[in-house]
Structure 1
Amino acid sequence: MSTYEVRRSAVIPAATDDIFPLVNNFHEWAAWSPWEKVDPGMSRRYFGPESGVGAGYEWSGNRKAGSGTMEIVESIPASSIMIRLQFTRPFKALNPTTFTFVPVSGGTEVTWLMTGENKGAAAKLFSLFLNMDKLVGADFDKGLASLASAVAAKKQS
């Protein structure tokens, strides 16, 4: 069984207290998630509390968006958020995802980390031809840039 990791970091010129709520609440992801615009007709359902541990999000979209669920399993204010990310389509996968927030000179370093395993013959074959870092790494970069823009917009409103 092979494992993979996709990790991207960016310094966002804002305090952790300004950034954290936009990740800790799935309702806020529409403003910055790189996948929200993949399928304008995508169906979404939120469950559990609005934010923090137990908050969840379920989506089902076109071939590119796929379908799955996300649930916050750990939320340490202004420090880290752990998400159970489970895809059901185009293939089944469980991808633990973590966001960490570290104050640095000039703002907050936000790191987005997703891990996973290539289980089963189809996934292993898929991994021979597609590198997960190349597949979603650019989306993480776009998402972090959009998160910075969303934080700036919220501070101005």
Structure 2
Amino acid sequence: MAAEYRVVRELHVGAPPAVVYERLVDLRRWRGWSPYEDLDPDMRRTCSGAGSGVGAVYEWSGDLKAGAGRLEVVEAVPDERVVVEQQNLKPLRSRSTTVLELEETDAGTRVTWAVTGRLTPLTRVMGLVAPMEKLLGPMHEKGLARLRDEVEGARPAGGPSSS
């Protein structure tokens, strides 16, 4: 089994890259579309740094399902790309890199969400039962659909679906 993983999903959004970019570069706005926000509704969240752009930091701590960790924007190219380094602290320690790329199309923007990381010995064994592609792929599909809905106005901004 490979020592690294890469999971990629893409989706078309009916809005210009600038509109999509503002939701990606501002970590405070991830609550509106990230599927990981649903893992623990009582999760504690803090944002530091600028909140948006390079140096923005988002930290979370939740139940066993949500775990604890940190996101930091390390690269931001307006209307083109946002690169985020992720460090998971609980339940398993790991690091990954998320690249969100935007490509203008005639009808809006193609958004590509790619995540890469190194597999630890434990995640390699776990991967025999549940590969990263099967764990992360559906979550990223859900997140991209939420992003599209939020950007296109079908979903209210600011948080996961209300109940």
TM-score by length of 2: 0.90
Q: Distance in 1 between matches of 2:123 and 2:140?
A: 21
The answer to whether residue 41 in structure 2 is matched with residue 35 in structure 1 is no
Identity fraction in percent: 34
Q: Which residue of 1 aligns with 2:161?
A: none
Q: Which residue of 2 aligns with 1:112?
A: 113
Per-residue deviation at 1:124? 2.2
Contact 2:13–2:152 (CA under 8 A) maintained in structure 1: no
Per-residue deviation at 1:54? 0.1
Counterpart AA for 2:140? F
Q: Distance in 2 between matches of 1:124 and 1:6?
A: 15
Q: Deviations over 1:1-53 (max 9, x none)?
A: 61111100001010001110001001111111101122110000111002100
Q: Which residue of 2 aligns with 1:68?
A: 69
Per-residue deviation at 1:94? 0.5
Q: Compute the RMSD of aligned alpha carbons.
A: 1.6
Structure 2 gap segments, 5+ residues each: 158-163
Q: Which residue of 2 aligns with 1:4?
A: 5
Matches within 5 A, 1:122-133: 122-133=122-133
Q: Distance in 2 between matches of 1:129 and 1:138?
A: 16
Give the match's secondary structure for 1:142: helix
TM-score by length of 1: 0.94
Per-residue deviation at 1:142? 0.6
Structure 1 gap segments, 5+ residues each: none
Q: Distance in 1 between matches of 2:119 and 2:136?
A: 15
Per-residue deviation at 1:105? 2.3
Matches within 5 A, 1:5-24: 5-24=6-25
The answer to whether residue 147 in structure 2 is matched with residue 147 in structure 1 is yes
Q: Which residue of 2 aligns with 1:88?
A: 89
The answer to whether residue 48 in structure 2 is matched with residue 55 in structure 1 is no
Per-residue deviation at 1:123? 2.5
